[in-house]
Structure 1
Amino acid sequence: MKKTGLTIAAALAGALLGSPALAQKTVLTVGMQSTDAGVLDPHLNSGTPGKAMLQWMFNGLVRIKPGELSPEFMEPDLAESWTSSTDSKEWTFKLRQGVQCHHGYGEFTSEDAVYSLARAASKETSAFSSDYAAFDKVEAPDKYTVKITLKQAIPSLLGIVMNYHGGNMVCKKAAEELGKEGFAKKPVGTGPFMFQEYVPQQYAKLVANPNYFRGKPKLTEILYRFIPSDSSRDLAFQSGEIDMMLGRQEQAWVDRMNALPGVKVVAMGPAEMSMLHLNMSQPPLDNLKVRQAIAYAVDRNAIWQFRGKNISRPAVSVVPSGYLGTDEKAPLYPFDLAKSKALLAEAGFPNGVTIKAINTTLPSMLSFTEATQALLKRAGITLEIQPVEHATFHQQIRQDLSQVVHFQAARFPIADVYLSQFFHSRAIVKTPTAVTNFSHCKVADAEIDAARSETDKAKQLALWKTAQEKIIKEVCAIPVNEMMQLWAYKDSLDLGYDLKASLNLGPPVLETTRFTK
């Protein structure tokens, strides 16, 4: 049937006004460099893919201002204010009133906060329980007050009640009703976005929380796609299938993305430090000279050039640079191939030695280990790599199955956190208080413990410095390189803040985040 001019004009007007293609975009699609996110329980998930996404669903009592990293930018989150005693052993938090848990689970109150912190402190329900070892009790004097009493003052209390790791606040009714396994598949928080669907190895879908206490999000949905292939992820980004993605930690990738029109590339903090943890409980790594030989065989400058001078930097100590308490001029073993070979011979391995590493298949981490493998080979050290999927990697290294563990990590930027989690005997893997001490290091326990309760700042810094020196001398681990977090996103996406850093390793998506076209 022939259309009249009026009908055609009306159709065109309708298309212009109501066409989905021209409507304001409200769905954010993110591409993640992983096959999966693992468990979706924020108290159990410590991997980059999970942390980056879970931060959009959960709040802490406090948070670091979006886009920043330093504790000096700490601000209210679920707690609208807080105070501490003069000895820093008692902390009182006043909660916001009316905050709603996702999916109709009711108001978030002090009962939920007490439950969350007890859950985070239990090794049965948390991968971060050791962070709460100094807790004496957590109480709810009234519906909107939380009181934390410590056995001794610690340097990072706000860092373990913020929206990071065990500090993520869960809703008691949901966690108890769903159970440990159910909650790991269907997390319930209070954040700007709510869990809707999860298809392992494909995607996770979040939807806007209309009752978010800071206001209804401008985005209606986040589709979080798992695309482990760098080339596939790049193509999806360039074709418009995804709006934001985690990049390959290589200078060439940054240069390529920066050449594209309408794209923003951010090399953000915190830098994750790549460190080789040497399992001193297993031969031949129980021999100090073998460990020293490995340390002398690692050329930090070569790795720096390999990974990109504009997106990485050489490690300076066994604590990342820029943390409160880092010894920026720590006595690391210098690159010395002749010294490495001589030490191997002295240790009884004149013809070389073989060591084994279980390693994640994440491209950026695998390429680092392969580059290190080539460096060690020149000294007669054969590093056999067993690649496994990222979630499996985390499981197996915590079962003490790898002689060498390449772990790439950032933590709350205070030396105590890094030292306690990676180098204190309480944190040795496969022990009741296990965290991420893969080397079985215990040489600096006294200094780490003393620094935690030391109120004199100068003495505290001196203790941390001594701890780092002892760990380096013992060669518990070899710090190599620090990598910035690389993200690219379309310039039509307004994050709502200046992205300089994110402790959760992915850009915060806020209630104000929106597309401008």
Structure 2
Amino acid sequence: MRRLGQLLVKRFRRTMPGPWRLSLIPVLALVTSAFLAGHALAETPQYGGTWMGAIANDPPTLDPAYSVAAVDGMLIALLYDGLIGFDTEGRPIPNLAARWEISEDNRTYTFYLVDNAYFHNGKHFTAEDVKYSFERVLHPDTASPRTWVLDRIEGAKEFMAGQASEVSGIRVIDPYTIQITLAEPFAPFLSMLGMPAAHIVDRNEIEKYADPRTDYAFNPVGTGPFKFVSFNPGDRIVLGAHEDYHAGRPYLDGIVYRVISDQATLIAEFEAGTLHAVGLSAADLPRFRNDPRYRDYIQTQNNLWLYFIGLNATRPPFDDVRVRQAVSWAVDRELLAETVVKDTRIPAKGPIPPGLDGHREDLVGYGYDPEKARQLLAEAGYANGLTFEVHMANSDVNVQLFEPIQQMMAAAGIRMEIVLRDFSAMLADTTRNAIDAFYASWGADYPEAENYLYPLFHSDNFGAGGNRTSFSHPEVDRLIELAQRTADRDERIALYHQIEDLVLEQAPRVFLFYGQTWVVTRPEVRGYQLYRIFNADKMTGIWLVE
């Protein structure tokens, strides 16, 4: 669900409490695959070998009920399964549910489950495990930060309030059929079931601990393609192949993720052969493209990240829409993409990234027009120019990006002062509506445009919910809520376009870039794919050439 983040090379995105994830941007090793089909066409996959990867920090937990960070979400996808998964493009695909049906009123989902899935402890998976896992997330004693993933199920609110002993909208029909009924239609629901919080646990493994939140956190038992072996905080986490995985044993015998936060160290380890893949920053990309050892092993994918400057719509000077529009006209995104962030970012025209329903390649958005910016400022009473501060995480990468933006804005009569901050402290200030402008980003929790429009622009979500610009527009709220209830894809896309047009007109955020992931793999790697969603890769198709 998704989240807001800083442009930082050394860290993974992490999530703050609240209904939408606030995240740090990974540029390094959270990437889990790059597709090298051209090298694998004539080869037979081999079993064996250990994947050597890197994560930038320790996972806070390996319990789906408490997963809010990208690093643990990625690991949970390897250890557990959900009813659905995602393909490389972010489309829902079967996982523990072999197929499903949706009722005509778009409220009832019937899932027909696989009958050959086993937990790592040997227990057979059934529909009762789904019911338990979902009710566990919703139970008040669990205190999960991810109740919003499932609280639209009929009876969930009553269960969460202690007024019911079970969730009425979750019905086990038989051991391999489960029916879920929503309180009202909610178009993104199926995609939300791919989130870590909706992954399935074994009740016996949870209840054998007096304090599961602490004791189960690093003793995970799921049905996923890999099982937990060991975790040494600050050093590495080790996984082994699940021999009885329902979709077939993975080719790899195991996976080792070492904790490495420094990009230069990651690159050195990769070139030494001790890592099988590494994410490339804008600084790394040209060298690897020109290196004959690696240039054929580089892959890219747009990654559903949105980078922006947030403008507080309730505080002067940005309580005036003309001033907000002026700032949007004062940034040359094309030039920044060409000279600063290069191919690791794509100029953004609006809030919906490429690859999602609702994205428009022909959207005009804001170009660079300093004269128009000056005119709007004059109309708003700033004929002599405007001065404001933009807060951001303390990072050399951020400074390198914003110094050129300063010059662009100066040409429009705007003096923008850069304030480098501790990222958590900056978020706290945006939560209490205490700063005028900030630089951050948002990444998808699930692959739906709604996951951008609702948290970032609906008035329900001021502060930690995602709407840190305090933007409020009744028609935007109404259209977002209507889109959430609209099952017809074409009708929903039309609503997304209306919302996007209104958001662009009101300009509460200066949309800068969409993200682009670049990964290089070692020559011995085969079948390694890039996924748009951070927790989609099961790593079952990867194999290593001896």
TM-score w.r.t. the length of structure 2 is 0.76
Which residue pairs with 1:515 in the alignment?
Answer: 544
- Distance (Å, rounded) in 2 between the aligned partners of 1:133 and 1:439: 26
1:161 partner letter: L
The alpha-carbon distance between structure 1 residues 308 and 351, as it changes in their structure 2 partners (threshold 3 A), is: closer
Equivalent of residue 355 in structure 2, options 322, 329, 337 = 322
State whether structure 2 residue 246 is matched by structure 1 residue 206.
no
The alpha-carbon distance between structure 1 residues 125 and 281, as it changes in their structure 2 partners (threshold 3 A), is: farther
The alpha-carbon distance between structure 1 residues 340 and 325, as it changes in their structure 2 partners (threshold 3 A), is: same
- Distance (Å, rounded) in 2 between the aligned partners of 1:140 and 1:224: 37
C-alpha displacement of 1:373: 5.4
Q: Deviations over 1:275-307 (max 9, x none)?
A: 223333455444434423322222211222135
State whether structure 2 residue 184 is matched by structure 1 residue 152.
yes
Secondary structure of the residue that 1:445 maps to in structure 2? helix
State whether structure 2 residue 102 is matched by structure 1 residue 84.
yes
Equivalent of residue 383 in structure 1, options 402, 407, 418 = 418
Which residue pairs with 1:13 in the alignment?
Answer: none
State whether structure 2 residue 452 is matched by structure 1 residue 418.
yes
Contact 2:240 2:255 survives alignment (8 Å): yes
Q: Deviations over 1:2-48 (max 9, x none)?
A: xxxxxxxxxxxxxxxxxxxxx9962211134x344444444544544
C-alpha displacement of 1:445: 0.9
The structure with higher relative contact order (CA 8 Å, sep 6+) is 2
- Distance (Å, rounded) in 2 between the aligned partners of 1:322 and 1:114: 32
Which residue pairs with 2:486 in the alignment?
Answer: 454
The alpha-carbon distance between structure 1 residues 313 and 37, as it changes in their structure 2 partners (threshold 3 A), is: same
Contact 2:127 2:174 survives alignment (8 Å): yes
Contact 2:79 2:223 survives alignment (8 Å): yes
Contact 1:64 1:70 survives alignment (8 Å): yes
Contact 1:330 1:468 survives alignment (8 Å): no
The alpha-carbon distance between structure 1 residues 125 and 95, as it changes in their structure 2 partners (threshold 3 A), is: farther
Secondary structure of the residue that 1:452 maps to in structure 2? helix
State whether structure 2 residue 469 is matched by structure 1 residue 439.
yes
Contact 1:369 1:406 survives alignment (8 Å): no
Which residue pairs with 2:266 in the alignment?
Answer: 233
Which residue pairs with 1:29 in the alignment?
Answer: 52
Q: Deviations over 1:340-393 (max 9, x none)?
A: 3554566566464232424275x767755665456446531213121448xx88
Contact 1:251 1:310 survives alignment (8 Å): no
Which residue pairs with 2:497 in the alignment?
Answer: 465
* Aligned pairs for 1:17-416 within 5 A: 26-32=49-55, 34-65=56-87, 68-71=88-91, 74-102=92-120, 104=121, 106-120=123-137, 125-136=143-154, 137-162=169-194, 164-176=195-207, 177=209, 178-248=211-281, 250=282, 252-253=284-285, 255-256=287-288, 259-261=291-293, 264-307=297-340, 310-330=343-363, 332-341=365-374, 343-344=376-377, 350=384, 352-359=386-393, 368=401, 372=405, 375-376=408-409, 379-388=414-423, 403-416=437-450
C-alpha displacement of 1:115: 3.2
Q: Deviations over 1:128-156 (max 9, x none)?
A: 54444532122223332221102232323
C-alpha displacement of 1:230: 1.8
- Distance (Å, rounded) in 1 between the aligned partners of 2:254 and 2:399: 32
- Which structure 1 segments of 5+ residues have no match? 1-22
Q: Deviations over 1:58-113 (max 9, x none)?
A: 21102234xx2152xx43211122222222221111222352333x3833332321
Identity in percent: 22
- Distance (Å, rounded) in 2 between the aligned partners of 1:43 and 1:117: 9
- Distance (Å, rounded) in 1 between the aligned partners of 2:501 and 2:137: 31
The alpha-carbon distance between structure 1 residues 88 and 179, as it changes in their structure 2 partners (threshold 3 A), is: same
- Distance (Å, rounded) in 1 between the aligned partners of 2:70 and 2:292: 26
- Distance (Å, rounded) in 2 between the aligned partners of 1:411 and 1:158: 13
Q: Which has the larger displacement, 93-102 or 366-375?
A: 366-375
* Bigger Cα Rg: 1
Contact 1:227 1:233 survives alignment (8 Å): yes
Contact 1:270 1:484 survives alignment (8 Å): yes
C-alpha displacement of 1:212: 2.3
Q: Which has the larger displacement, 229-238 or 338-347?
A: 338-347
Work out the number of aligned pairs and report it: 477
The alpha-carbon distance between structure 1 residues 36 and 352, as it changes in their structure 2 partners (threshold 3 A), is: farther
TM-score w.r.t. the length of structure 1 is 0.80
Contact 2:76 2:196 survives alignment (8 Å): no
